Amino acid sequence: MKALLRKHAFTLWLVAAVLLAVYFPEPASQSGFLRAQWITQIGVAVIFFLQGLTLPTRSLAAGYKPKRLHVFVLSWNFLWFPVVTGLLLIPLSRLLTPELCVGFWLLAILPTTVASAIAFTSLSGGDTSNAIFSTIFSNLLAVLVVPTIAVAYLASETAIEISLTGIFVSLAQLLVLPLIVGQVARQFVRALAGRIAEVAKLVSSGIILFIVHAAFAESISSGLLNELSLALCLGVGMGIVTVLLVTSVVIWWSSTWLHLQRAQQIAAFFCASQKSLVSGLPLASSILLAAPGVVDPAMVLIPLICFHPVQLACAGLLTGRLLP
């Protein structure tokens, strides 16, 4: 029982953060919302500083080849995953609100996970060095790719002019600069950086829980989440399961075209099929903060928050079956 609770601790804390927002929304909403926004921005900067501090850049060279593996992963992260999701949303949009559809779109363009994709690759007998290179490269590239695609989509869907320059400046301050500072600091405290990796993960998880809580608290106080009916919840659940199963099947099937070794194919599969909550949520929050009033942040984040535990459960079931 303890092992099960430990394994799903973060998911349980996510549920607790949402429930706390439902029953006690006032501290992070209304008069405290501006304070929550500042804490969110500082928290995002801290997350990316810690990522920079713990990023094993010198180990990337080992997983650089084959190049076609990384092209495959990046194309699925930022191109084919959104295409497949868009096609699936054509029938699913009848079950979802426009804001939930935006949430699925935003989920589709996010980078891959880092820790989870590497861990599942290792447990399945995959090439860990390939997974390290692909996941880190995907997350670094996401800082440029995700805001560009997200702003283009939001502008086309809402007919509201959104300044991409302003968002890039904000992301540079909140994400890129802390990441670079973390990497520079790592050169001076390399041994310490390795030891604090677990602490950094706990701090990042705590910040993400606060971001989720603050977004839901504000939406509940303003009444925007009152429209989230049982039918919508079922629609979200159906959408998540459908997107996950279809993309996973197509990714594994298409990875056979690369003629990779079995271990490399496993790395390609996990890196292409997973979506990051640790990097994705700060990215999404920063974009939504830079475009206030366009969509309800909590409603948009629901697909990402729900997708995270489902993809981990699915990957866990596949781990033993993908062993070479």
On whether the CB atoms of residues 274 and 116 are closer than 8 A, the answer is: yes
Q: Would you place residue 222 in the very low, low, confident or very high pLDDT band (cuts 50, 70, 90)?
A: low
CA dist., res. 197 & res. 24, Å (int): 32
DSSP codes of every residue in 218-233: HHHHHTGGGG--HHHH
| pLDDT tens readout for residues 118-158 | 888 888 888 888 988 898 889 888 888 888 888 777 767 66
Mean pLDDT is highest, among 138-142, 156-160, 214-218, 236-240, for 236-240
Residue 138's identity, in one-letter code, is S
In the chain, % of residues over pLDDT 70: 81
Distance (Å) of CA 169 to CA 52, 76, 180, 238, 305? 19, 27, 15, 37, 26
How do residues 35-63 score in pLDDT, each as one tens digit?
A: 666 777 788 888 888 888 877 766 666 67
For 250-277, what is each residue's pLDDT tens digit? Answer: 999 999 999 999 999 999 999 999 998 8
Supply the CATH classification number for the domain 10-19+31-322.
1.20.1530.20
Q: Where are the domains of the chain?
A: 10-19+31-322
Among 66-75, 105-114, 158-167, the minimum mean pLDDT is found in 158-167
Q: Are 299 and 219 in contact (CB under 8 A)?
A: yes
**Percent of the residues in the chain that have a pLDDT greater than 90, as a whole number:** 24
- Residue 162 pLDDT > 80: no
Q: What is the pLDDT of residue 31?
A: 47
Q: What is the pTM of this model?
A: 0.82
Alpha-carbon dihedral of residues 266, 10, 197, 276, nearest 10 degrees?
50
Q: What is the pLDDT of residue 112?
A: 92
Residues 6+ apart with CB under 8 A from 212: 14, 17, 18, 21, 281, 301, 305
Mean pLDDT of 102-112: 92
pLDDT band per the 50, 70, 90 thresholds, residue 202: confident
Max avg pLDDT among 164-168, 170-174, 257-261, 295-299: 257-261
Query: Pick the residue with more confidence: 180 or 24?
Result: 180
| Mean pLDDT over each residue of the chain, to the nearest integer | 81
